[in-house]
Homo-oligomer: A and B are copies of this chain.
Amino acid sequence: MAYRLLYPLRTYLIVSGRMSEEVNVMTADWVTVLSHKPVLVGVAISPKRYTHKLIEKYGEYVIAVPSKDMLRDVWIAGTESGPDKLSFMNISFMESKTVRTPSIREALANIECRVVAKNTYGDHTFFVGEVTGYTFNKEVYDSEEYAPKKLSLFIAHVAKEKFTRFSEEIIIPEI
C-alpha cells in the first residue's frame, strides 16, 4: 500500500467502446499528463478490466472529469464490472468531437484520446493517448487557459470509499 503515500489523487471516469456497439465506463485514479507537444496523457488499466479489452479493440478512450455530484457514479464505475453497471448509473452519453467513443454529458470536462503507445508496467497496461479534442463546462474552467475555477466541484480519492474535495481558496507562494 506504499503507493497510498501519493494520495489523495484525482479520480476520473474512463469511457471506452462505441455507442452503436458497446460502451463501458470505469473509474481510474492512475492518470497523468505526459507531454506538452503533442499533448499526451496516460492511464494505467489492469488487463482484467473490461475497459482494457475495449481500449485494445478501438484504440480510443475518453477521460471524463466527474464533479462531486457524480460521486455515486464514480463509486459504481469503480466497483462493478462490465457495461451492465450503466443501467444503474445516472450518466448520459453524448457524441465526442474527434473520437467515436462517447463523452459524458454530466462531466465537468471530457478529454478525447487516441492511443499512440502502450506499455506494460508491472500488473497494469499504460495506455498513452494523444488528446485530439475536448469539451468542458465554461462555468467551471477558464475558457482561455482551461484552468479550473470552481475548485470545490472537483473531487479526489483518499482511500477505499473515502473521497474529498478541494478548498475554494487559492494560495500563491510568497517569494
Contacts and interface: CB of A to CB of B under 8 A. Distances in A.
Contacts of A152: 167
A84 to B, nearest CB: 16
Contact of A33 (B30, B37, B134, B155): B30
A36 B123 contact: yes
Contacts of A117: 119, 121
A136 B4 CA distance: 11
A2 B97 CA distance: 14
Interface of A: 1-10, 12, 29-42, 44, 63, 65, 68, 71-72, 74-76, 109, 111, 117, 119, 121-124, 126, 128, 131, 134, 136, 141-142, 145-148, 151-152, 154-156, 158-175
